[in-house]
């Protein structure tokens, strides 16, 4: 197929294309639902075709990934122009005898960061390299040390969340803890979590609920329901991203590569749960309030024009901690854990309480369950 | 003969097209519940532990039914424990003759009504260092949840399983949960109303 040279997503309407090796329409991985390979190309041919198309790119990173590909003159010129600004800056600083070592290093980092590949495609070494660059860059710019991790998903872990709507009292401690933990923009007061105050006896009416109340809580005759990114197992936001800057990790977290995002906000429109947020302006956090324990896919500083959202505090959860909202909740309404661990409390909740999820009929498979006492 | 073969091939192709056109890209599992069940069948634990986050918290290990987990140690947290340090004599003799002087003046019981509960529902005047069950069995202060679970059996069940109450440490094993009295004052167990942690003024502007 001609569009195999592209790394981005293409609509695949009615065209037969091998989706994934070894699985078929009935969901089985081995035989049983008729002739698999008869009318499709074999695995070998498929791999060969992929290799011919993007084989080199898969192994490359940094500016090799950008420069060392076949492209027409127009694309090449466009890419060169876009990089010229940084290039010019880098050249002028590195050729200038009067600029200091630090400026040169800064330019070098900028150059390498500009041409790095998609985080999803990076090897562990490349991930570490970009994280090191970002840490060094922050040090050069702000004179402060941050701790950034590139820890991958752990095997046998699938994160899930449960929310007790009869326990939540609407204190919103989770909201402020989330903002502090995840370095969200203080100017636009961006918040990942919304707590919806709903009237008893009216059902779940989000259009009638108030998600920005300010009075003593819990208010008589109301209950509270929190929403945030539900980390769907079949996330529509990932499907629509034209540059694959957002994806589902092996442990179920739906994450964003802030350096790969182009800010088209398709994902924001595709999310049926209002789970995604956009940086309309450069996010600002006072230096003394910055959480310096960071993760590349989590709470590191974002820039203007990129999407972000709840990551179940990837910097905490991958280290065995609970997300900040869970830790901050004084009522114990929030439960977090490993869905694959039969002994975990989240599994007990799923097996023993009457749980439900929002818009289950969409087939998005959110990993965020609600339950009542 | 050749024509029949052709028809057969056509039919198989048709069948294959139908089968493959059903694919929506959900992958191997029909839904998340199936996935969780299938993938957790061979679960042998992970390398992640939350032990380091429990450092500095004195805990004791309890086993209730099928559940074994840690709860904070309580006795060292109670300022005036052991009670017998003051209650050296039986309660009757300690009672002050002066009604204006009260020892536990700050404790007001707001837990059930007075028909149901008073001090001696939980405390034993003859054994001040331990709590007492409804039938008079002694309960250690560290295991005060046994006292609460006498009436609050539903909450107790949820707490054991992990649906009620706040967790300590992290999600990773070992599991540590707060015990009843870490959140609820046993003499006044209800939660107070209060103001929310914040108010989003930008959200108001954006929605105008």
What is the DSSP code string of A153-169?
PPTT--EEEEEETTT--
Going by the DSSP 8-state scheme, the letter that residue A212 receives in this structure is S
Among candidates A39, A217, A373 on the partner chain, residue whose Cβ is nearest the Cβ of B193: A217
Position A65 scores a pLDDT of 59
How does pLDDT run across A170-191, given as a tens digit for each residue? 999 999 999 999 999 999 999 9
Query: Chain A residues with CB inside 8 Å of B183's CB?
Result: 330-332
Distance from CA of A34 to the nearest CA of B (A): 7
Query: Chain B residues with CB inside 8 Å of A339's CB?
Result: 36, 40
In A165-234, DSSP assigns E strands to 194-199, 222-227
Residue bearing tokens 């876009």: A82
Position A66 scores a pLDDT of 57
Kind plus residue range of the DSSP H or E element containing B126: none
Under an 8 A CB cutoff, do B29 and A27 touch?
A: yes
- Euclidean distance between CA atoms A154 and A251, whole angstroms: 7
A68-A71-A73-A74 Cα dihedral, nearest 10 degrees: -120
Inter-chain Cβ pairs, chain A and chain B, closer than 8 A: 183
| pLDDT tier for residue A69 given thresholds of 50, 70 and 90 | low
Position A27 scores a pLDDT of 41
Residue A56: beta bridge partners? none
Phi, psi of A37 (to 5 degrees): -100, -5
- Tell me which range, A67-76, A102-111, B8-17, is most confidently predicted by mean pLDDT: A102-111
Position A45 scores a pLDDT of 73
What SS3 class is residue B184?
coil
Q: How many percent of chain A have pLDDT more than 90?
A: 71
What is the rounded average pLDDT of the residues A16-24? Answer: 44
Distance from CA of B150 to the nearest CA of A (A): 18
Position B156 scores a pLDDT of 97
Pair type for strands A159-164 and A334-338: antiparallel
Position A35 scores a pLDDT of 41
Q: CA nearest B48 in A: which residue? A: A320
Pair type for strands A194-199 and A159-164: unpaired
Share of chain B residues as helix, strand and coil, in percent rounded to the nearest 5: 35, 10, 55
What is the rounded average pLDDT of the residues A340-367? Answer: 96
Would you give the distance in Å from CA A93 to the centre of its chain?
A: 35
- Euclidean distance between CA atoms B103 and B94, whole angstroms: 10
| pLDDT tier for residue A4 given thresholds of 50, 70 and 90 | very low
* Mutation target vs B (from A322, A353, A369; most B CBs, 10 A cutoff): A322
Report whether pLDDT(A1) > 70: no
Burial class of residue A209, CB neighbours in 10 A (0-12, 13-18, 19+): buried
What is the rounded average pLDDT of the residues A248-272? Answer: 97
pLDDT tens digits in sequence order for chain B, 208 residues long:
566 777 788 777 776 666 565 555 556 888 999 999 999 999 998 999 999 999 999 999 999 999 999 999 999 988 888 888 888 887 777 777 777 777 788 888 999 998 999 999 999 988 899 999 999 999 999 999 999 999 999 999 999 999 999 999 999 999 999 999 999 999 999 998 999 999 999 999 988 8
Query: Chain B residues with CB inside 8 Å of A153's CB?
Result: none
Position A47 scores a pLDDT of 72
What is the rounded average pLDDT of the residues A250-262? Answer: 96
Among candidates A167, A172, A336 on the partner chain, residue whose Cβ is nearest the Cβ of B197: A172
Pair type for strands A293-295 and A147-149: parallel
- Euclidean distance between CA atoms A291 and A138, whole angstroms: 13
Structure-model confidence comparison of residues A32 and A345, the more confident one: A345
Under an 8 A CB cutoff, do A33 and B28 touch?
A: no
Structure-model confidence comparison of residues A319 and B17, the more confident one: A319
Query: Chain B residues with CB inside 8 Å of A188's CB?
Result: 202
What is the rounded average pLDDT of the residues A257-262? Answer: 96
Distance from CA of A203 to the nearest CA of B (A): 22
Position A209 scores a pLDDT of 95
Distance from CA of A270 to the nearest CA of B (A): 17
Going by the DSSP 8-state scheme, the letter that residue A152 receives in this structure is P
Position B5 scores a pLDDT of 76
- Euclidean distance between CA atoms A317 and A203, whole angstroms: 32
Q: Could you tell me if A313 and A293 are in contact, meaning their C-beta atoms sit under 8 angstroms apart?
A: no
- Euclidean distance between CA atoms A356 and A354, whole angstroms: 7
Is A244's Cβ below 8 Å from some Cβ in B? no
Position B92 scores a pLDDT of 78
| pLDDT tier for residue A90 given thresholds of 50, 70 and 90 | low
Q: What is the mean pLDDT of chain A?
A: 85
Position B22 scores a pLDDT of 54
Structure-model confidence comparison of residues A230 and B192, the more confident one: A230
Query: Chain A residues with CB inside 8 Å of B13's CB?
Result: 38-39
Report whether pLDDT(A128) > 90: yes
What is the rounded average pLDDT of the residues A192-211? Answer: 95
Position A226 scores a pLDDT of 97
Query: Chain B residues with CB inside 8 Å of A343's CB?
Result: 173, 175
Query: Chain B residues with CB inside 8 Å of A337's CB?
Result: 171
Kind plus residue range of the DSSP H or E element containing A105: helix A101-114
Distance from CA of A62 to the nearest CA of B (A): 31
What the block records as the tokens of A258 is: 């802030």
- Tell me which range, A5-14, A248-257, B87-96, is most confidently predicted by mean pLDDT: A248-257
Report whether pLDDT(A40) > 80: no
What is the rounded average pLDDT of the residues A38-44? Answer: 61
Distance from CA of A63 to the nearest CA of B (A): 33
Is A18's Cβ below 8 Å from some Cβ in B? no
Position B91 scores a pLDDT of 78
Is A221's Cβ below 8 Å from some Cβ in B? no
Distance from CA of A155 to the nearest CA of B (A): 7
- Euclidean distance between CA atoms A370 and A358, whole angstroms: 8
Under an 8 A CB cutoff, do A321 and B170 touch?
A: yes
């Amino acid at each position: 197929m001609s569009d195999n040279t592209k790394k981005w997503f293409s609509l695949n309407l009615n065209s037969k294309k091998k989706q994934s090796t070894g699985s078929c329409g009935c969901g089985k991985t081995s035989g049983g639902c008729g002739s698999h390979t008869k009318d499709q190309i074999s695995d070998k041919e498929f791999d060969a075709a992929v290799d011919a198309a993007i084989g080199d790119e898969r192994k490359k990173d940094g500016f090799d990934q950008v420069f060392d590909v076949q492209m027409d003159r127009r694309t090449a010129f466009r890419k060169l122009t876009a990089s010229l600004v940084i290039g010019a800056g880098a050249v002028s600083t590195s050729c200038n005898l009067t600029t200091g070592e630090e400026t040169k290093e800064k330019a070098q980092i900028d150059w390498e960061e500009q041409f790095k590949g998609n985080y999803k495609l990076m090897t562990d070494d490349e991930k570490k390299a970009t994280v090191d660059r970002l840490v060094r860059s922050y040090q050069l710019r702000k004179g402060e040390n941050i701790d950034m991790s590139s820890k991958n998903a752990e095997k046998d872990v699938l994160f899930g969340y449960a929310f007790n709507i009869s326990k939540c009292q609407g204190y919103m401690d989770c909201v402020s803890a989330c903002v502090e933990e995840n370095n969200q923009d203080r100017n636009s007061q961006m918040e990942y979590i919304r707590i919806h105050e709903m009237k008893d006896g009216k059902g779940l009416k989000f259009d009638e609920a108030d998600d920005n109340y300010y009075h003593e809580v819990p208010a008589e005759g109301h209950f509270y329901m929190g929403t945030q990114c539900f980390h769907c197992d079949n996330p529509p936001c990932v499907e629509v991203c034209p540059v694959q800057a957002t994806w589902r990790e092996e442990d179920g977290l739906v994450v964003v590569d802030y350096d790969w995002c182009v800010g088209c906000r398709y994902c924001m429109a595709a999310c049926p749960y209002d789970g995604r947020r956009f940086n309309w302006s450069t996010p600002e956090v006072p230096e003394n309030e910055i959480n310096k324990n960071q993760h590349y896919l989590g709470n590191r500083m974002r820039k203007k024009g990129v999407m972000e959202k709840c990551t179940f505090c990837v910097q905490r959860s991958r280290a065995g901690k609970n997300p900040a909202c869970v830790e901050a909740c004084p009522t114990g309404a929030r439960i977090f854990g490993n869905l694959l661990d039969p002994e975990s409390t989240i599994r007990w909740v799923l097996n023993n309480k009457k749980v439900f999820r929002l818009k289950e009929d969409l087939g998005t498979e959110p990993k965020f369950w609600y339950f009542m006492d | 003969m050749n024509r029949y073969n052709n028809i057969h091939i056509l039919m198989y192709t048709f069948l294959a097209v139908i089968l493959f056109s059903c694919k929506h890209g959900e992958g191997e599992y029909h839904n998340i519940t199936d996935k969780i069940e299938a993938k957790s069948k061979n679960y042998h634990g992970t390398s992640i532990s939350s032990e380091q986050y429990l450092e500095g918290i004195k805990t004791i290990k309890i086993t209730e039914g099928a559940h074994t987990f840690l709860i904070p140690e309580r006795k060292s947290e109670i300022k005036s424990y052991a009670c017998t340090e003051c209650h050296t004599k039986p309660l009757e003799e300690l009672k002050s003759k002066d009604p204006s002087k009260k020892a536990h003046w700050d404790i007001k019981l707001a837990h059930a009504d007075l028909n149901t509960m008073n001090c001696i529902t939980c405390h034993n005047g003859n054994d001040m260092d331990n709590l007492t069950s409804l039938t008079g069995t002694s309960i250690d202060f560290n295991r005060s949840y046994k006292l609460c679970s006498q009436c609050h059996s539903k909450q107790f069940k949820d707490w054991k399983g992990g649906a009620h109450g706040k967790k300590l440490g992290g999600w990773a094993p070992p599991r540590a949960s707060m015990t009843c009295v870490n959140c609820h004052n046993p003499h006044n167990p209800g939660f107070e109303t209060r103001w929310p942690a914040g108010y989003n003024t930008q959200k108001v502007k954006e929605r105008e």
